[in-house]
Amino acid sequence: MEKNYRQQYHLMPETGFMNDPNGLCFYNGEYHIFHQYAPKGLKAERGWGYFTTKDFVNYKNYGMVIFPDSRWDKHGSYSGSALVDDGEMELFYTGNVKQPGDYDYIYSGREHNIIYLKSKDGVNFSEKELLMTNDDYPENCSCHVRDPKVWKEGENLYKMILGARTRDDIGEALLYSSNDKKHWILEKTFTKPDLGYMWECPDFFEIGGKTVLAFCPQGVDSKGIEYNNIFQSGYCFVDGENLSKFTEFDRGFEFYAPQTFLAPDGRRIIIGWFGLPDVPYGNPSEEKENWIHCLTIPRTLEFKENKLWQEPIEELKKLRTEEITVKLEHGKTNIFPKVQCEALLKFENKSESFDISLRKDINISLKNGIFTLKMGDSGFGRTERSCHIDCTDSVRIFSDTSSVEIFVNGEVFSSRVYEENTEKFSIILNSSSELCNLTYYPLRSFEITKIS
């Protein structure tokens, strides 16, 4: 089987299907990265796969560690989170069950159960314990209530947020509290007009004096250059009962179901699923190489310039093997040895207008206050995405075998890209209002040790 598209520094499945990152946490000197996983593809039920790392460069891959093998999760061990407490990693997730019969599986026929288990090593787990069933959620909810994110607030207070769809097709987030992690009381419901019929994968945290509710609404209409993907992933600032404008985390084609967690040095890190369900564009790795999707590179979040500002985590600098700086000349094709790279564009002064071509047929431009990423044929149906950027002094591009993640002014544009036999990285400055230097860093691959 061909191996053209396999990523070098993104976590991806050996075979089959990967989706949401789950149970992200730092525990016992390591970062723990679980994820939704169906190694035999989507016809099999999903469980949790598992990676650990101390440095975001060297990883251990444990394969599938939580299986959909109980009465409460037999049709999928769906998404959930980790709480590090009492010296253990405690996991809360949604067990999916479809009752046999003629059901729509939205308003009837589906169980979404909250399951609890704990572990000291991520491989050996306690017995699964059932904490909540659909009978415990508010009466106006449909069967779709899932994706618990749990955290601790103070000595004996725990909080959990769940994503939900009401019987009237309104997306909501349900905030619960508990003193013992087992019995949960509903405190508050968040919703917002015109934000879809279902909210998946909620998250809730404080940052820079702000309270943030992150979630993935389904069914939001696109509005100009905003909300152009089939489903969104973004956040609102919370002020009492009020939610500020919903802002997308990523301006590209695919970033979904992210989770945030705290590193021991206080950084809030976010990792997303580098994919989306039900998209109109293609992922040829599935047919040609029997794997589909990966996770995004980890990014730090900060409250800056009135928004959540994202940067790639510092640890990725350890992947750099060399540094080459060139002044970009208009119209000249610059070819560098390796497509797996970081390319840092620095403008002499803040630039208000430029047009740059990358790789086979990707284009990025800034014009009239709008930054645009345009994909050609190698985007397999991905077309163009934009966001407001007045001017910028730098653009940072992470290019892997089959993806690009472009950082500009705290925004990110992520896209999968499928080129045949790509080895080299090329870039052309078609036009620019400012002189532009490029620093090119070839990146080495992650070291992944398989633990079986």
Please name which of 356, 412, 416 lies closest in space to residue 382, comparing C-alpha atoms.
416
Select 146 or 268, whichever has its Cβ closest to ligand FRU. 146
Q: How far is the CB of 46 from ligand FRU (least distance, A)?
A: 5
The b-or-e profile of 100-118 (16+ CB within 10 A means b, else e) is: eeeeeeeeeebbbbbbbbb
Q: How far is the CB of 387 from ligand FRU (least distance, A)?
A: 23
Q: How far is the CB of 174 from ligand FRU (least distance, A)?
A: 14
Q: Does 20 bind ligand FRU (CB under 6 A)?
A: yes
d(CA 244, CA 5): 39
Q: Tell the burial category of 156 from Cβ atoms under 10 Å away from its Cβ (0-12, 13-18, 19+).
A: exposed
Q: How far is the CB of 389 from ligand FRU (least distance, A)?
A: 28
Instruction: Evaluate the CA torsion angle 167, 19, 160, 98 in order and state its sign.
Output: positive
Applying the rule CB under 6 A, the residues between 200 and 229 that interact with ligand FRU are 200-201
Q: How far is the CB of 271 from ligand FRU (least distance, A)?
A: 13
Paired with 172 in beta bridges are 164
Sole binder of ligand FRU in the list 10, 46, 192, 251 (CB under 6 A): 46
Q: Does 342 bind ligand FRU (CB under 6 A)?
A: no
> CA dihedral in degrees (161, 166, 171, 177; nearest 10)?
-10
Phi, psi of 319 (to 5 degrees): -85, -15
Select 94 or 119, whichever has its Cβ closest to ligand FRU. 94
What secondary structure letter does DSSP report for 443?
Answer: B
Sole binder of ligand FRU in the list 53, 61, 81, 94 (CB under 6 A): 94
Paired with 414 in beta bridges are 405
Q: Does 111 bind ligand FRU (CB under 6 A)?
A: no
Q: Does 271 bind ligand FRU (CB under 6 A)?
A: no
Question: x-or-dash pattern for ligand FRU, window 126-165, by CB under 6 A?
Answer: --------------------xx------------------
Instruction: Show the tokens assigned to 83.
Output: 């709480």
Sole binder of ligand FRU in the list 56, 78, 398, 413 (CB under 6 A): 78
d(CA 343, CA 427): 9
Sole binder of ligand FRU in the list 7, 19, 232, 402 (CB under 6 A): 19
Is 20 among the catalytic positions? yes
Q: Does 372 bind ligand FRU (CB under 6 A)?
A: no
Q: Are 348 and 436 within 8 A, CB to CB?
A: yes
Given the rule CB under 6 A, which residues bind ligand FRU?
A: 19-20, 36, 46, 78-79, 94, 146-147, 200-201, 256-257, 277
Question: Which residues are tagged catalytic?
Answer: 20
